[in-house]
Amino acid sequence: MTLTVKEENGFRFIESGTQGETLLLLHGLFGALSNFQGIINHFSANYNVVVPLLPIYEMPILQVSVMGLVDFTTKFVEHKGYDKVHLLGNSLGGHVALLYALAHPERIASVTLTGSSGLFESAFGTAFPKRGDYEYIKNKTAETFYDPSVASKELVDEVFDIVNDRNKAIRVVATAKSAVRHNLGDKLHKIKAPTLLIWGKQDSVTPPFVAEKFHELIAGSQLFFLDECGHAPMMEKPEDFNAILDGFLKEVSEKNSVA
């Protein structure tokens, strides 16, 4: 399913417009709409699937932070008038989802995290990648996945362009540092919404022990590991990912209809 990027009140997003509950997807630091194509295709028939484009590269430098992205998400949800949303975040998007859920529990139907930051994350290492070094970027992008072939030339080109744009690169570093500062270890017990964790067994950015810690700290959460899978399970194992998410969302909806 191909969706057109809409623009309203300074927000850029895609929305299936389907009658039904809203499934709001938050992408990561180097994320793109293509990361969620499998979810969009699978769920748009029964859910209003929405992907706001997080303004990581557009925010004024002094506002660049994880909390800046939470504020953006808050304003976006208010602008659209969504009631309760099923919130799903990958990587940095998971971190934003958790902070949003903590700030606005009344707006949350469920939370799904996949390769989320917020407890521990290993990025490009201690230094930002060398600008202009395409092979380095290509290898680093491939390391995100268990199967390097998932790192398409289009995806590598997107990351390469970000790294070689000085303004974007500065914002990536600032956002990543902000994420490390906003560790959620002492706050996760406050998450009361139904929570699903889907993790790649071979995730090298947020390794399996991170998922296990999230599972321990979020009461009642469900944890699923996908084998031969890295940091973006919805891209690498779309069928397995969608089956798990589908079952979880139906379970949550059934419980809410009985309550």
Return the amino acid letter for 149: S
- pLDDT at site 31: 75
Q: Residue 50: name the closest of 78, 21, 74, 10 by CA.
A: 21
Segment 144-156, tens digit of pLDDT? 999 999 999 988 9
Is residue 111 within 8 Å of residue 97, measured between CB atoms? yes
Per the domain annotation, does 185 fall within a domain? yes
Per the domain annotation, does 15 fall within a domain? yes
Per the domain annotation, does 111 fall within a domain? yes
Segment 10-58, tens digit of pLDDT? 999 999 999 999 999 999 988 777 889 999 999 999 999 999 999 998 8
Distance CA 245, CA 243 (A): 6
Q: What is the CATH number of the domain that holds 47?
A: 3.40.50.1820
Return the amino acid letter for 106: E
Is residue 115 within 8 Å of residue 200, measured between CB atoms? yes
Per the domain annotation, does 1 fall within a domain? no
* pLDDT of 128 over the 70 cut: no
* pLDDT of 131 over the 70 cut: no
Segment 161-202, tens digit of pLDDT? 888 888 888 888 888 888 888 899 999 999 999 999 999 999
Q: What is the pTM of this model?
A: 0.94
Give bridge partners of residue 7 from the DSSP assignment: 12
Average pLDDT over residues 89-94: 95
3-state DSSP assignment of residue 89:
strand
Look up the domain containing 66 and give its range.
6-258
- Give CA separation, 1 vs 4, 12, 16, 80, 198, in Å: 10, 18, 9, 22, 23
Cα-only R_g, the chain: 17
Q: How many domains does the chain have?
A: 1
Per the domain annotation, does 181 fall within a domain? yes
Which residues fall within 8 angstroms of residue 205, CB to CB, at 6 or more apart?
91, 115, 121, 122, 123, 144, 230, 231
Q: What is the mean pLDDT of the chain?
A: 91
Q: Residue 137: name the closest of 114, 116, 158, 113 by CA.
A: 158
Per-residue pLDDT band for 72 (boundaries 50, 70, 90) equals: very high
Residue 125 phi, psi (nearest 5): 110, -155
